[in-house]
Chain A
Amino acid sequence: MQSKKVTITYYDEYGVWPHLADELSSRLPLRNLHWNPSIQRPLRTIQSLDVDMKRFTYDSAPQPLLSVQTPYLNLYFVACDDNDSYRMSVKRQIKAWMDVITTKKNQEWMLVYVAGQDTRKGASYLGLKTSVYDKIKNDFNIGKRDRCVYLRSASSEHADSEDWVDFINKMKDGIMTSFDAQVQQYQDDTRRLDLQRQMPGWNYCTFFILKEGLAHTFETMTLYEESLIQYDELEASFFQVLRDKALAWFGHVGGSSPGDDSSNVLDFKKKPYRELINKNTISVFDFRSYLFARQCFLLLKLQRPIETCARAQLFISNMTVTIKENDMPVEDYLESWIFSACTNIVNECEPIATHLATGNPDILPIYNAAKADLLILARKQLDKLGVKHGHLPDSTPFNMHIDKNVNTKKRFSSGAEVTDKEPMTNQKLREAVVSREAFDKMYMALSTRAIKGYDQSNRVRSALCAHGDIASFKFAREKYDEAARILDSMTWRYGDQHWSYIENALLRKCAEAQKKLGNTRQFLECVLTLLKNASELSSEEAEFYTNELLDNVQNMEEEIHRQFSPIFIVSDVVIVDDFATVDQTNIRICVDNKLPKALHFDKLSLNLVGNEPEHITYEINDQTLNAGLNVFNLSSQTSAAGEYVVETCHLQFGKLSFAHNFLHEGHEKHILRLNHDIQKLFVDVEQPGSVTLGERQNFAVSIYSGNENIKEGTFLLSSLSEGLDIPLSEEYTATLKNISDETSHTIILQVNESGQIKLPALTTDQKIGFLISYDGPWNENQFRIRSKADYVTADGSIRSFHSADFVDILIPLTVTESSIFGENCIYLKVEASCNGNIPARVLGSCLEPSASYEIENQSINENWDLTLFPRQVSTFVYKLKKQGGSTGSLQSKEHFVVKYQTLQSEVEAGIKAKLNTKLKEHNLGQHLNHIWKHIRKEFLSHIDYNDYGLTETVRVKYFDAEVCESFLLHRDLKTKVELLDLIEEFFQHNAIISQSDIRKEHPTISERALSFPLDVPRSRVLHTVELILPNDTYMHVNEPCEGTLKIKQSPYWASEESVEDASSFFVYEIEADYDNWLLSGKRKLKFSSKVGEVYEFPITLIALKTGQIPLPPVKVHSVSSSIFASTLYINSAQQVLVRPKSSTATFFVEQQQRFVQQRATAVQTPYSETGHQRAALTAVDEVVGN
Chain B
Amino acid sequence: MSIDINCIAVIGKQNNPLYIKNYSSSHPDLKYHYIAHTAIDVIEERVLNNPKLTDAYLGLLYAMEDLAVYGFMTNTRVKIILVIAVTDNVVKDADIKAIFTKVHSAYVSHVCNPFHNLDQDFVASKRFSNAVDHIGQQNSRATIDV
Which residues on A sit within 8 Å (CB–CB) of B56?
Answer: none
User: In the complex, which of the residues B38, B42, B65 contacts A317, with contact meaning CB atoms closer than 8 Å?
Assistant: B65
Q: Does B76 contact A (CB under 8 A)?
A: no
10 closest A-B pairs by beta carbon, nearest first, are: A317-B63, A459-B41, A498-B16, A403-B26, A400-B31, A462-B38, A320-B66, A461-B41, A317-B86, A405-B26
Which residues on B sit within 8 Å (CB–CB) of A403?
Answer: 26-27, 66
Q: Does A102 contact B (CB under 8 A)?
A: no
Q: A465 contacts B34, CB within 8 Å?
A: yes
Q: A397-B30, A461-B37, A498-B16 are in contact. List 11 more A-B contacts (CB 8 A).
A: A239-B90, A316-B63, A318-B86, A320-B86, A321-B66, A380-B64, A400-B27, A458-B41, A494-B37, A499-B37, A501-B29
Q: A320 contacts B38, CB within 8 Å?
A: no
Tell whether A317 pairs with B64 under 8 Å between CB atoms, given A322-B88, A462-B38: yes
Interface members, chain A 487-523 (any B CB < 8 Å): 494, 497-499, 501-502, 505
User: In the complex, which of the residues A380, A404, A458, A494 contacts B65, with contact meaning CB atoms closer than 8 Å?
Assistant: A380
Which residues on B sit within 8 Å (CB–CB) of A494?
Answer: 37
A465 vs B25: C-alpha distance in the bound complex, in angstroms? Answer: 22
Which residues on A sit within 8 Å (CB–CB) of B119?
Answer: 666
**B interface secondary structure, majority:** mixed
Q: A397 contacts B34, CB within 8 Å?
A: yes
Q: Does B87 contact A (CB under 8 A)?
A: yes
User: In the complex, which of the residues B20, B27, B86 contacts A401, with contact meaning CB atoms closer than 8 Å?
Assistant: B27
Which residues on A sit within 8 Å (CB–CB) of B68?
Answer: 317
Q: B17 contacts A243, CB within 8 Å?
A: no
Nearest A residue (CB) for B66: A320
Q: Does A205 contact B (CB under 8 A)?
A: no
Nearest CB of chain B from residue A319's CB, rounded to whole Å: 9
Q: A321 contacts B37, CB within 8 Å?
A: no
Q: Size band of the B side of the interface?
A: 35 or more
A318 vs B67: C-alpha distance in the bound complex, in angstroms? Answer: 9
Q: B28 contacts A396, CB within 8 Å?
A: yes
Nearest CB of chain B from residue A483's CB, rounded to whole Å: 17
Which residues on B sit within 8 Å (CB–CB) of A458?
Answer: 41, 45
Nearest CB of chain A from residue B86's CB, rounded to whole Å: 5
User: In the complex, which of the residues A320, A321, A505 contacts B30, with contact meaning CB atoms closer than 8 Å?
Assistant: A505
Nearest B residue (CB) for A466: B38
Q: Does B40 contact A (CB under 8 A)?
A: yes
Tell whether A404 pairs with B33 under 8 Å between CB atoms, given A459-B45, A497-B14, A497-B15: no
**A interface secondary structure, majority:** helix
Residues of B within 8 A of A (CB): 14-17, 20, 25-31, 33-34, 37-38, 40-42, 45, 60, 62-68, 85-90, 119
Q: A502 contacts B37, CB within 8 Å?
A: yes
Which residues on A sit within 8 Å (CB–CB) of B89?
Answer: 239, 242-243
User: In the complex, which of the residues A243, A317, A322, A373 contacts B67, with contact meaning CB atoms closer than 8 Å?
Assistant: A317
Q: B65 contacts A461, CB within 8 Å?
A: no
Q: Does A338 contact B (CB under 8 A)?
A: yes
Tell whether A321 pairs with B86 under 8 Å between CB atoms, given A404-B26, A501-B20, A502-B37: yes
A396 vs B67: C-alpha distance in the bound complex, in angstroms? Answer: 18
Which residues on A sit within 8 Å (CB–CB) of B26?
Answer: 403-406
Nearest B residue (CB) for A494: B37
Q: A316 contacts B65, CB within 8 Å?
A: yes
Can you list 6 A-B pairs with a CB-CB distance of less than 8 A? A243-B89, A314-B63, A373-B62, A404-B26, A405-B25, A465-B34
A242 vs B87: C-alpha distance in the bound complex, in angstroms? Answer: 11
Q: Does A634 contact B (CB under 8 A)?
A: no
Tell whether A313 pairs with B62 under 8 Å between CB atoms, given A242-B88, A320-B86, A321-B86: yes
Q: B33 contacts A502, CB within 8 Å?
A: yes
Nearest CB of chain A from residue B62's CB, rounded to whole Å: 6
User: In the complex, which of the residues B27, B34, B88, B90 contacts A321, with contact meaning CB atoms closer than 8 Å?
Assistant: B88
Q: Does A598 contact B (CB under 8 A)?
A: no
Nearest A residue (CB) for B65: A320
Nearest CB of chain B from residue A233's CB, rounded to whole Å: 14
Q: B88 contacts A499, CB within 8 Å?
A: no
Nearest CB of chain B from residue A251's CB, rounded to whole Å: 16
A498 vs B13: C-alpha distance in the bound complex, in angstroms? Answer: 12
Which residues on B sit within 8 Å (CB–CB) of A317?
Answer: 63-68, 86
Which residues on A sit within 8 Å (CB–CB) of B65?
Answer: 316-317, 320, 338, 377, 380, 401
A41 vs B57: C-alpha distance in the bound complex, in angstroms? Answer: 32
Which residues on B sit within 8 Å (CB–CB) of A498?
Answer: 16-17
Q: A499 contacts B31, CB within 8 Å?
A: no
Which residues on A sit within 8 Å (CB–CB) of B16?
Answer: 497-499
A609 vs B94: C-alpha distance in the bound complex, in angstroms? Answer: 59
Which residues on B sit within 8 Å (CB–CB) of A369?
Answer: 41-42, 45
Nearest CB of chain A from residue B13's CB, rounded to whole Å: 11
A403 vs B115: C-alpha distance in the bound complex, in angstroms? Answer: 41
Nearest A residue (CB) for B63: A317
Tell whether A401 pairs with B31 under 8 Å between CB atoms, given A322-B88, A461-B37: yes
Tell whether A501 pairs with B33 under 8 Å between CB atoms, given A321-B88, A401-B27, A403-B27: yes
Which residues on B sit within 8 Å (CB–CB) of A322?
Answer: 88
Q: Does A460 contact B (CB under 8 A)?
A: yes
Nearest A residue (CB) for B120: A666
Which residues on A sit within 8 Å (CB–CB) of B17?
Answer: 497-499, 501
Q: Does A324 contact B (CB under 8 A)?
A: yes
A499 vs B37: C-alpha distance in the bound complex, in angstroms? Answer: 8
Nearest CB of chain B from residue A317's CB, rounded to whole Å: 4
Q: A313 contacts B63, CB within 8 Å?
A: yes
Tell whether A321 pairs with B87 under 8 Å between CB atoms, given A377-B64, A497-B16: yes
Q: A462 contacts B30, CB within 8 Å?
A: no
User: In the complex, which of the residues B20, B31, B41 contacts A460, with contact meaning CB atoms closer than 8 Å?
Assistant: B41
A314 vs B61: C-alpha distance in the bound complex, in angstroms? Answer: 11
Interface members, chain A 1031-1061 (any B CB < 8 Å): none
Residue among B26, B34, B89 with max Cβ neighbours from chain A (10 Å): B34
Q: A243 contacts B90, CB within 8 Å?
A: yes
Nearest CB of chain A from residue B19's CB, rounded to whole Å: 12
Which residues on A sit within 8 Å (CB–CB) of B90?
Answer: 239, 243
Nearest CB of chain A from residue B39's CB, rounded to whole Å: 8
Q: B30 contacts A502, CB within 8 Å?
A: yes
A322 vs B86: C-alpha distance in the bound complex, in angstroms? Answer: 10
Which residues on B sit within 8 Å (CB–CB) of A397?
Answer: 30, 34
A243 vs B40: C-alpha distance in the bound complex, in angstroms? Answer: 32
Which residues on B sit within 8 Å (CB–CB) of A462?
Answer: 38, 41
**Contact indicator per residue, chain A 241-271, by CB within 8 Å of chain B (1) or not (0):** 0110000000000000000000000000000
Interface members, chain A 443-489 (any B CB < 8 Å): 454, 457-462, 464-465
Q: B30 contacts A396, CB within 8 Å?
A: yes
Tell whether A499 pairs with B33 under 8 Å between CB atoms, given A317-B67, A401-B65, A459-B41: yes
Nearest CB of chain B from residue A709's CB, rounded to whole Å: 49
Q: A461 contacts B40, CB within 8 Å?
A: yes
Which residues on A sit within 8 Å (CB–CB) of B40?
Answer: 461
Nearest CB of chain A from residue B33's CB, rounded to whole Å: 5
